[in-house]
Amino acid sequence: QEALAQEALAQRVRRIVDATPVVDMHTHLYAPALKELLLCGADELMCFHYLISESFRVHRLPYDVFWGMSKREQAEVVWRALFEQSTPLSEAASGVIEIAQAFGMQPGRFTLHDLRAVLSDTPTAAYIDKVFQLAGVDLVVMTNDPFDRAERAYWAQGVEIDPKFRASLRLDTLVNQFADACQDLQAQGFDVAPDLSGRTFAELERWLESWVERTQPVYVAFSAADDLVYPDDGVRGQLLDKVLLPVCRRHKLPLSLMIGARRRVNPDLRLAGDSVTQASLRPVERLCADNPDNKFLITMLARENQHELVVTARKFHNLMPFGCWWFVNTDTLVEEITRLRLELLGPTFIPQHSDARVLEHLIYKWQRARDVVARVLTDKYGALVRRGWAVEDADIERDVRRLFRDNFWDFVQA
């Protein structure tokens, strides 16, 4: 009897989770107006840096040999290593199988050639719509870097952005490599100095305001390793206090911090060469406490930081934990983190973002996120029912909408 009731509950939850469209609040996808920056198709999928790093453990090619190949050849090397010489068991490799299945590939075995045939390597409007629909996503947030020349050129032309794509301003170069940022800004005619003297702060504000105006972002972001300090009278602290936080306050924009990425631990792997580190939550605590009129979206890369992040969110309502990022975006850890968050915060967090770099990633990343969220919610609702609390479909709908979209939008608009 009880098993039957639990099964019926599981089906109700699954139906609602599947039917609720997602707002994907952090991706590396670009609106089609930004042309070649929007990646899709089989070869791009194979050249995803998560798969590249896994493939090196199998093919063991010298780095320069691999990087000297064309994208098509690299894709073939990765395919051979991970799908022919190995069973695609990892999170990223098995994701490719889910994408193929969503596109109607015959179950069984398929080749890279077959995959190239079912996926498109041109992101036409119809193809984008199809992928969004298969993924159950209706809006994605891009990661827009004002220091990326290719991207900057498009924004300078005054491109028209498809409303399914919203911008976020990613300021890693400004905050983490200020000397480089300064050179670039000087070349663009801003009167800034690496020692922050003279008109630097006013000019940085003018620059940031122009990007807010141009891109209409939903938040401003940067990533850090374990070196974030706050309060901080160094360069980063002053940039925060005198430029980023005031501009965010003025436009009611959250500041998103992605903490725990130790960059270029193996530079030979390029994008795939970054690693993880635990970080202190003290600076986040002080940021939230000292800047009550700012809002902070926080994700952390280390598994060890997840509990402390959730506890910090209990203390500060201007902190919104989001996503299970990169190395914690695995079936096991997403489940653990989602349970932890639900048990300590109720449905007041953002369980996942996709971090999609290739359009079709949306499909498997959200399929996986839905699987876990449905599993955890079914378990928690089942316990409530057994304890004598009725759970209606309308309750489930409200909770899932919050988790997949409203918590983000309400926070952005607050």
User: What is the contact surface with ligand RAT in residues (CB under 6 A)?
Assistant: 28, 143, 223, 258, 261, 271, 326, 355, 357
Residue 341's binding partner among Zn ion, ligand RAT, none (Cβ under 5 to 8 angstroms by kind) is none
User: C-beta of 28: minimal distance to Zn ion in Å?
Assistant: 6
Q: Of 115 and 224, which has the nearer Cβ to ligand RAT? A: 224
Residue 405's binding partner among Zn ion, ligand RAT, none (Cβ under 5 to 8 angstroms by kind) is none
Tokens 């998560």, residue located: 50
User: C-beta of 322: minimal distance to ligand RAT in Å?
Assistant: 12
Beta strands in 232-282 (DSSP E): 255-259, 261-262, 275-276
What is the x/- site pattern for Zn ion, positions 345-364, by CB under 5 A? ----------x---------
Residue 215's binding partner among ligand RAT, Zn ion, none (Cβ under 5 to 8 angstroms by kind) is none
Q: Of 342 and 350, which has the nearer Cβ to ligand RAT? A: 350
Residue 380's binding partner among Zn ion, ligand RAT, none (Cβ under 5 to 8 angstroms by kind) is none
**Dihedral sign computed on CA atoms, order 209, 215, 219, 221:** negative
Q: Is the separation of the CB atoms in 358 and 75 below 8 Å?
A: no
User: C-beta of 99: minimal distance to Zn ion in Å?
Assistant: 19
Q: What tokens appear for 136 in the block?
A: 């159950």
Q: Is the separation of the CB atoms in 330 and 305 below 8 Å?
A: no
Residue 326's binding partner among ligand RAT, Zn ion, none (Cβ under 5 to 8 angstroms by kind) is ligand RAT
Q: Of 302 and 374, which has the nearer Cβ to ligand RAT? A: 302
Q: How far is CA 127 from CA 14, 173, 210, 267, in A?
A: 26, 33, 33, 34
**Rounded-to-integer distance, Cα 391 and Cα 260, Å:** 38
**Rounded-to-integer distance, Cα 326 and Cα 330, Å:** 8
Containing H/E element for 138? strand 137-141
User: C-beta of 172: minimal distance to ligand RAT in Å?
Assistant: 7
Q: Of 269 and 385, which has the nearer Cβ to ligand RAT? A: 269
**Rounded-to-integer distance, Cα 138 and Cα 47, Å:** 26
**Dihedral sign computed on CA atoms, order 374, 375, 376, 377:** positive
User: C-beta of 259: minimal distance to ligand RAT in Å?
Assistant: 11
Residue 357's binding partner among ligand RAT, Zn ion, none (Cβ under 5 to 8 angstroms by kind) is ligand RAT
User: C-beta of 23: minimal distance to ligand RAT in Å?
Assistant: 17
Question: In terms of Cα–Cα distance, which of 333, 279, 343 is closest to 311?
Answer: 343
Q: Note the residues at the interface with Zn ion (CB under 5 A).
A: 355
